[in-house]
Amino acid sequence: MPNIPQPHPNDYNTAKQVRRDADYIKNFIIKLHDVDFAIIEYMNDVITPQVEQIPGQGNKIKVPIIYGSAERWASARKFGFVRDQKGQIQLPLIMIRRNSVAKNDSMTTLNRFLQRSYAQSYSPKNKYDNFAIMNGVKPTTEVYNVVNPDHVNLTYECMVWTSFTEHLNDIIEIFTFAEDSYWGQKNKFKFRASIDSFDISNELTDGGERIVRGSFNINVNAFLLPEEFANKVNTIKSYTPKRILMMTEIDTSLVRPNSNMYRQNERIPALGRPSTPRVSMVTEYQALFDYITLSNSYDATFVSTNSSQSVWRLSNIFRVAVPSDLASIVSDSDRTQSFINGVFTPIENYTLSNDDNDLLITFDHSATIYELDSTDDVVLRGKLQRR
């Protein structure tokens, strides 16, 4: 049998397998259709071009906006106008279509696999109640990691037909005022749109209909994001942890077992057998565990200072002795850490000494760069205890 390569364990990490079929938040997708719909809807609902049906009478009508399919656009180019189902020339009218899609070199995505995280604070499947409080469980947050989209430049061509030049002027004026801003849907996608110039021409049809036609291009800076790439969904859902457990580990191979450290607990006799000793690993290394997990912080009080050094005192504080099993691997820098105004100070910059029941800290001003006085804040942290 040939050796079949096994998948990496991370590919089947159950913690990363989250159901998405019941989500009310769908995958984040931006398609070309979404950009087209956003631009046309903005033109219809926000720009809303209007003209007076009869100039000077104030009876305004909304100019219809239609998308130019391939057949409709070819017919308009050939005949110079668009007819409705009854054969009537549609005036006024705006027709738009997308001409080109190009890469936006000014906004290049440096890393396709970088993601942006969006948090959903409320999750109906992870409730936070009194039972969770009693067990130290925190409310989880739904996080949606979305891949960065690609930035593109889209070009739309628009053709406008009106009966009068005054109507075309009204349409040009409203689009000129609206350009160089963000077009799109409210609380949804918005893209920056700009217009370079307008071309105007007057035509006379065979039937004697006078048509004023104009055209212009809309340049849109947009972004695109497919639903999946390389068989992986571009929107990944995850949860924040409910509980964080902090544990301490030591390498027991460096510790010499000592039989005198064992504490034997009598086991209750069963079925007439004599009691047998039971050894507890926790009690065997209890002194080591206590020393490793010991980390206390105390504020020092100012004593005196001069040009070369300053002295600080910790009253009724002493350094805990290093267990014999750790004496060869624990240094002075592992026992204590000093902080001056919240900034860590290496142990080479100070010395520790005992004064009866107190602990004195002497700082070397040449090592600490600046002189210390009573306004400074000194904290000592490490293997310390109060008497």
Q: What is the pTM of this model?
A: 0.54
Q: Three-class SS string for the chain?
A: CCCCCCCCHHHHCHHHCCCCCCCCCCCCCECHHHHHHHHHHHHHHHHCCEEECCCCCCCEEECCEEECCHHHHHHHHHHCCCECCCCCECCCEEEEEEEEEEECHHHCCCCCCCEEEEEECCCCCCCCCHHHHHCCCCCCCEEEEEECCEEEEEEEEEEEEECCHHHHHHHHHHHHHHCCEEEECCCCCEEEEEEEEEEEEEEECCCCCEEEEEEEEEEEEEEEECCEECCEECEEEEECCCCCCCCCCCCHHHCCCCHHHCCEEECCCCCCCCCCEEECHHHHCHHHHHHHHCCEEEECEEEEECCCEEEEEECCEEECCCCHHHCCCCCHHHHEEEEECCEEECHHHEEEEEECCEEEEEEEHHHHCCCCCCCCCEEEEECEEEC
Cβ atoms within 10 Å of 161's Cβ, excluding its own: 23
State the CATH architecture for 22-228. 2-Layer Sandwich (3.30)
Angle at the Cα of 172 from the Cα atoms of 222 and 68, rounded to 5 degrees:
55
Tens digit of each residue's pLDDT, the chain (387 residues): 455 555 555 556 666 677 777 777 778 889 999 999 999 999 999 999 998 877 667 788 899 999 988 888 888 877 777 777 776 777 888 999 999 999 988 887 767 677 888 787 666 666 667 776 676 667 777 888 888 888 999 999 999 988 888 889 999 999 999 999 999 988 888 999 999 899 988 776 555 667 788 999 999 999 898 888 877 788 888 777 766 666 666 555 555 544 444 344 444 444 444 544 444 455 567 778 888 888 899 999 999 998 889 999 999 999 998 888 888 888 888 889 999 988 888 888 899 998 888 999 999 888 776 788 888 999 999 999 998
pLDDT at 3: 56
Residue ranges per domain, the chain? 22-228, 252-289, 295-386
Q: pLDDT by residue (tens digit) across 189-232?
A: 899 999 989 998 877 655 566 778 899 999 999 989 888 887 77
Residues with Cβ < 8 Å from 385, sequence gap 6 or more?
Answer: 294, 296, 317, 318, 320
Q: Is the separation of the CB atoms in 235 and 28 below 8 Å?
A: yes
Cα–Cα distance for residue pair 276/278, rounded to 1 Å: 7
Cα–Cα distance for residue pair 374/92, rounded to 1 Å: 83
Reference 41, options 60, 67, 71; nearest CA is 67
Of 3.40.50, 2.60.40, 2.40.30, 2.60.120, which CATH number belongs to 295-386? 2.40.30
Cβ atoms within 10 Å of 386's Cβ, excluding its own: 11
The answer to whether domain 22-228 and domain 295-386 are alike in fold is no
Cβ atoms within 10 Å of 276's Cβ, excluding its own: 9
pLDDT at 8: 56
Residues with Cβ < 8 Å from 347, sequence gap 6 or more?
Answer: 332, 333, 336, 337, 338
Cα–Cα distance for residue pair 158/220, rounded to 1 Å: 13
- Distance linking the first and last C-alpha atoms of the chain: 71
pLDDT at 193: 95
| Residue 175, token pair as written in the block | 């689009």
Instruction: State how far the alpha carbon of 240 is from the alpha carbons of 15, 131, 170, 218, 307, in Å.
Output: 11, 19, 55, 44, 52
